[in-house]
Amino acid sequence: MARPAASLATPLRHAADRWLFRIGAPEPAPIRLGQRRIYVLPSAAGIGFAFALLVMLIAAINYNLSLGYALVFTLGGSAAASMVHAFRNLHGLSIRPGRCAPVFAGETAVFSLLVDNPAPRRRPALRLAAHGQWSAFALPPAQESAVTLACPALRRGRLALGRSVLETHWPLGLIRAWSVFVPEAECLVLPTPESDPPPLPLDAGGDADGGRRAREGDDDFAGLRAHRSADSPRHVAWKVLARGGPMLTKEFAAGQERALLLDWERLPAGLDDERRLSRLTAWVLAAEREGLRYALALPGVRVPAANGSAHHARCLRLLALHGLADAAVEDAA
């Protein structure tokens, strides 16, 4: 009976979130924490403190202790004041999502949220939570700070930050003030590259040296790039170096250029989809590292041969979203 109860608790919790905290689709930035978005309740320590005050009040009444009354009401007033301070510690904050760099499946996605404190006072003892992870921080007066939250990325695809909580127990720990929100923040989780992949299929595009001829030919000058230790000294741009510039290497374009083809259909038949994606990811990383021009062919989509950061990012994104619900949108783009 425990398993059906647990499966029923999750949708009930989501329904309660939507009803109590107005949780639904991701909210456009900036997310401002106004009065209607902040909730205040006693913490566990606050409940224990209230019980202790009740016992002290009963003792003061029983023994008619005027100092006992003074102590109870002083402590009770301090607890009531802490409720106001906890609320003000969150009120007026503005939140917008920052950038989250892509990670490989099994690694940790580091989300960044930019929290703006418009008030000329410090906001101490704040905590941000999502995916069961917590990050403590404080905000200086009248400044915007980046708050990072590390979340495990277990599967490839899109990892949304989702339901997030910003809370504080300041100043006495007796009151918990919190706000729930869903920022438009997500991280692209790439397939884990194969740890020991086969060599690049240099003959898949026709000629094993095709990609290499395009960057090391001796026909036409094509430009300059950063120097690598394996480059020939005769290709170093010595004039640039003599003028105090960085060490660069001349690139020459050959007339007949052949590109590397990374083709899903040419992989061994015994590989399942995830292992195919893992191998193609490793090959894309290797081809980009070697400076080769490469094309990527997946079922239903083909990326023309190119190289560079934009081409590299597009191929990895297609591999990350292959077969998922939102892959069609990426393919069309």
Q: What is the pLDDT of residues 212-267, one digit of tens each?
A: 444 444 455 556 777 777 677 777 777 777 777 788 787 765 544 567 899 999 99
The predicted structure's pLDDT at residue 244: 76
pLDDT over threshold 80, residue 305:
yes
Cα(288)–Cα(245) distance, integer angstroms: 25
Q: Nearest-CA neighbor of 31 among 165, 188, 171?
A: 165
Closest C-alpha among 112, 168, 173 to residue 136 = 168
Average pLDDT of the chain, as a whole number:
85
226 vs 208, which has greater pLDDT?
226
Stretch 35-49: mean pLDDT, rounded? 94
Q: Flag whether pLDDT at 314 surpasses 70.
A: yes
Cβ proximity of 177 and 90 under 8 Å: yes
pLDDT, position 252: 63
Where are the domains positioned within the chain? 17-189, 191-217+257-333, 221-253
User: What tokens were used for 183?
Assistant: 């920022």
Angstrom distance (rounded) from CA 331 to CA 298? 10
| Confidence (pLDDT) at 246 | 80
Q: Can you tell me the distance from the alpha carbon of 7 to that of 295, in angstroms, rounded to the nearest whole number?
A: 45
Checking if the pLDDT of 3 tops 60, the result is: no
**Strand locations in the chain, DSSP E?**
31-32, 39-42, 94-97, 103-104, 108-117, 123-130, 133-139, 143-152, 157-160, 164-168, 175-181, 186-190, 220-226, 248-253, 260-263, 294-298, 301-306
**Which pLDDT does position 164 carry in this prediction?**
94
| Residue 291's pLDDT band (cuts 50, 70, 90) | confident
- In this prediction, residues 58-72 reach a mean pLDDT of 93
**Average pLDDT value for residue range 165-181:** 95
Residue 18: CB atoms within 10 Å: 11
What mean pLDDT is predicted for residues 71-88? 95
Omega within 30 of 0 (cis) for the link into 42: no
Q: What was the pLDDT predicted at 21?
A: 64
Beta-bridge partner residues of 160? 186
User: Phi and psi at residue 315, in whole multiples of 5°?
Assistant: -65, -45
Q: Could you tell me which residues are beta bridge partners of residue 149?
A: 111
Specify the higher pLDDT residue, 248 or 45. Answer: 45
Checking 300-307 for CB contacts under 8 A at 24+ apart, the result is 300/331, 301/331, 305/205, 305/259, 305/260, 305/261
pLDDT of the residue at 38: 94
Segment 95-148, tens digit of pLDDT: 999 999 999 999 999 999 999 999 999 999 999 999 999 999 999 999 999 999
Rounded to an integer, the average pLDDT of 271-283 is 94
Task: Give, in order, the Cα–Cα distances in Å from 157 to each of 193, 287, 330.
Answer: 14, 22, 12
User: For 322-333, what is each residue's pLDDT tens digit?
Assistant: 988 765 445 544
Residue 308 confidence (pLDDT) above 80: yes
